[in-house]
Structure 1
Amino acid sequence: MTSVEVSLKSLLTEVEGSLGAAVVDYNSGMALGTLGGGKDLDLSVAAAGNTDVIRAKMRTMQTLGLKDKIEDILITLGTQYHLIRPATGRSGNGLFIYLVIDKGRSNLAMARHHLKRTEEYLEV
């Protein structure tokens, strides 16, 4: 099990092209931790906004009667990928991990793999 800080550092160092990462409580929209970002990527604002994305998808699944779970949500921009992965571990219920990567320098499949592994070992 790894802490939020260690998990975020791991994502930024192991995923080539990482621009920023956050662990977010989607009940409140508050980031429990952020790393990276910058003037063009305010991770606290992005965390709050992506809370709406995950809530909307969960409502839609419930309305449709889907009994499945979200593995991750991918938002593709012109130069970036934004990945959202709900944490399902024993201490992660109600949380998601948010990762932003550079589209030209990153391997999306490897980023998803690292995100999954991070989610499995996250301890809050």
Structure 2
Amino acid sequence: MNIDSALAEAMAIDGALGVALVDYESGMSLGFAGGGQALDLEVAGAANTEVVRAKLRALAALSLDETIEDILITLGGQYHLIRPLASGRGPFFLYLALDRSRGNLALARHGLKRIEAELAV
């Protein structure tokens, strides 16, 4: 699945507000869909690179031989899901903002996992 198809599928997840594919080394978005004035996906993607980097540093400092499946940030009205692509697929993560009142967190996580597995970068 190409980037545009992956982003379109992520936007089809119930409650999706916006999605981006981000390079966590540079902070640059490879693509995004949705968002708007209330959610600037380029800024959010770049800012969340620091979240991913911090968690990777924490895993290294703890000498944990683990990979990050996803990171969840819970806001009052939104969930923000960060899903790094599997090892060996580059320094990229999918970032999904989800409306809490319309979305289902479990289904969104499952959907991002499937999209991540099929995404060709």
TM-score normalised to structure 2 length: 0.98
**Paired amino acid for 1:5:** D
- Tell me whether 1:111 sits opposite 2:76 in the alignment: no
- Displacement of 1:93 in angstroms is 2.0
Instruction: Report if aligned partners of 1:23, 1:98 keep a CA contact under 8 Å in 2.
Output: yes
Question: C-alpha separation between the residues in 1 aligned to 2:24 and 2:85?
Answer: 10
- Displacement of 1:89 in angstroms is 5.8
Aligned residue among 95, 100, 107 for 1:98? 95
Question: C-alpha separation between the residues in 2 aligned to 1:78 and 1:51?
Answer: 22
1:55-70 alignment to 2 at 5 Å?
55-70=53-68
- Displacement of 1:3 in angstroms is 0.7
Instruction: Report if aligned partners of 1:25, 1:96 keep a CA contact under 8 Å in 2.
Output: yes
- Displacement of 1:115 in angstroms is 0.4
Counterpart for residue 18 of structure 2? 20
Q: Give the root-mean-square deviation of aligned CA atoms.
A: 0.8
- Displacement of 1:76 in angstroms is 0.2
Dislocated runs of 4+, deviation >2 Å: none
- Displacement of 1:20 in angstroms is 0.2
Runs of 5+ in structure 1 lacking a partner?
none
Aligned residue among 107, 117, 120 for 2:117? 120
Aligned residue among 52, 72, 75 for 2:73? 75
- Secondary structure class of the residue paired with 2:66: coil
Instruction: Report if aligned partners of 1:85, 1:98 keep a CA contact under 8 Å in 2.
Output: yes
Instruction: Report if aligned partners of 1:89, 1:120 keep a CA contact under 8 Å in 2.
Output: no
- Secondary structure class of the residue paired with 2:29: strand
Aligned residue among 1, 24, 35 for 1:37? 35
Question: C-alpha separation between the residues in 2 aligned to 1:66 and 1:93?
Answer: 20
Runs of 5+ in structure 2 lacking a partner?
none
Percent of residue pairs identical: 53
- Secondary structure class of the residue paired with 2:67: coil
Counterpart for residue 46 of structure 1? 44
Q: Label 1:89 to 1:123 Cα distance change in 2 as closer, same or farther (>3 A).
A: farther
